[in-house]
Amino acid sequence: MSIILSDISKNFGRFSALNHINLEIPEGELVALLGPSGCGKTTLLRIIAGLEQADSGRVLLSGEDKTEQHVSRRGIGFVFQHYALFRHMTVFDNVAFGLRVKPKKIRPSTGDIHRKVHALLELVQLDWLHDRFPDQLSGGQRQRVALARALAVEPSVLLLDEPFGALDASVRKDLRLWLRSLHYELNVTSIFVTHDQEEAMEVASRVVVLNHGCIEQQGAPSEIYDHPANAFVSKFIGQTNVLQFDQQEGLLLPNTPPDGKSAHVRPHDIVLAKASNDDNAHAVLRDWQHLGALIRIELEKISPYHSGLSIFVEMPNEQFKQLALKKGDKVTLQIQRAHWFH
């Protein structure tokens, strides 16, 4: 099912949560709504689901206007951050719930419900826990049960509101990969909300970046990262060094800096070398951190005007070892690529 949001706006009193949002999501796509807290991403998700009404604009699902249609008639599955499982029901009964409450004329038979629920629990790799209660499960297991319950009614659209936000880091990473694989197996149009940029970049086929109720940029994760549309996206997505116009003096830049614009430089787009003498040094090495296969290096730019300006560089572990740098060493910097924003 494709989704078209046309000129969606929503206010809560004087607070403008969404400002004239226009967004088209093709059928079968996995989209992340990404942005800081309060940017409107959950409000937008709830408007798509029918849990919230927009002040203006339209919601079209597969070309049909569903703006005024009740949530129960939109064919949408919703997975909440805190699972919302029925604590008094077993895993099996939680997943079966949506099937059992269907109107009698379209309700599956008891045998069909039994087969479908077990098939879904096998899909989320939890059939062996079908007779357990939610309190007997881990957080990751509960979230997978919640997902199976949402899928049981065969939704045309799957909406997930920060589905991994309540889980610890290692479980989140496992479930991200699992959700991406599951999505491509089921091919259901899916939208998930997150404020975690790594999560959005790792899971989604398309990322929509929101801020103050507006869409700042949308596109494939690589497009958003490599070609940010503005300063907000550049700083919000990934690590970025921001060098004001008067702080760029002395650095080797890839082209002539435009007047008055700041240079936004990714840490991996800087080539670092040990300075041969003090005259050609750009910065002093202050510290570094191991990030697995990468090393993040913290430098202080040498300048009579901007003491204390930090610049971060990232490089592979082996490359850092070959440079044999120590704290206090003076280095030269060559910036290979920069984006320029006011």
91 pLDDT more than 80: yes
pTM score: 0.88
Question: Higher confidence at residue 317 or residue 147?
Answer: 317
Q: If pLDDT is split at 50, 70 and 90, which confidence band does 212 have?
A: very high
The hierarchical CATH code for the domain 241-341 is 2.40.50.100
Task: Please state which CATH class domain 3-236 belongs to.
Answer: alpha beta
- Quote the percentage of the chain above a pLDDT of 70: 99
Per residue in 141-197, pLDDT tens?
988 898 889 888 888 899 999 887 767 777 778 778 888 888 888 889 999 999 889
Of the candidate ranges 108-117, 127-136, 302-311, the one whose mean pLDDT is the lowest: 302-311
Domain ranges of the chain: 3-236, 241-341
The 3 state secondary structure assigned to the chain is CCEEEEEEEEEECCEEEEEEEEEEECCCCEEEEECCCCCCHHHHHHHHHCCCCCCEEEEEECCEECCCCCHHHCCEEEECCCCCCCCCCCHHHHHHHHHHCCCCCCCCCHHHHHHHHHHHHHHCCCHHHCCCCHHHCCHHHHHHHHHHHHHHCCCCEEEEECCCCCCCHHHHHHHHHHHHHHHHHHCCEEEEEECCHHHHHHHCCEEEEEECCEEEEEECHHHHHHCCCCHHHHHHCCCCEEECHHHCCCCECCCCCCCCCEEEECHHHEEEEECCCHHHCCEEEEEEEEECCEEEEEEEECCCCCCCCEEEEEEEHHHHHHHCCCCCCEEEEEECCCEEEC
